[in-house]
């Protein structure tokens, strides 16, 4: 991954998190974090 690609990807992620914080009070970020937590527990079980 080039530096330009990494910067653009980081900017998009931060813009999405910022938009979620402003428009939905972080609801969608919290939802995704909870689902990621369940997914990581599932992965750890099969490891």
Number of independent structural domains in the chain: 1
Domain carrying residue 25:
3-46
pLDDT at 33: 94
pLDDT at 37: 95
* pTM for the whole structure: 0.74
Residue 30 has pLDDT above 90, yes or no: yes
CA atoms within 13 A on the CB side of 24: 11
Cβ burial of 15 (10 Å; 0-12, 13-18, 19+) is: exposed
pLDDT at 11: 98
Q: What's 26's DSSP letter? A: T
Cα three-residue angle 20-16-11, rounded to 5 degrees: 150
Residue 1 has pLDDT above 90, yes or no: no
Of 46, 9, 35, the closest CA to residue 27 belongs to 35
């Amino acid at each position: 991954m080039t530096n330009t690609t990494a910067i653009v990807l980081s900017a998009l992620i931060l813009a999405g998190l910022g938009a979620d914080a402003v428009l939905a009070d972080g609801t969608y970020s919290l939802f995704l974090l909870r689902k990621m937590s369940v997914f990581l527990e599932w992965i750890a079980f099969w490891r």
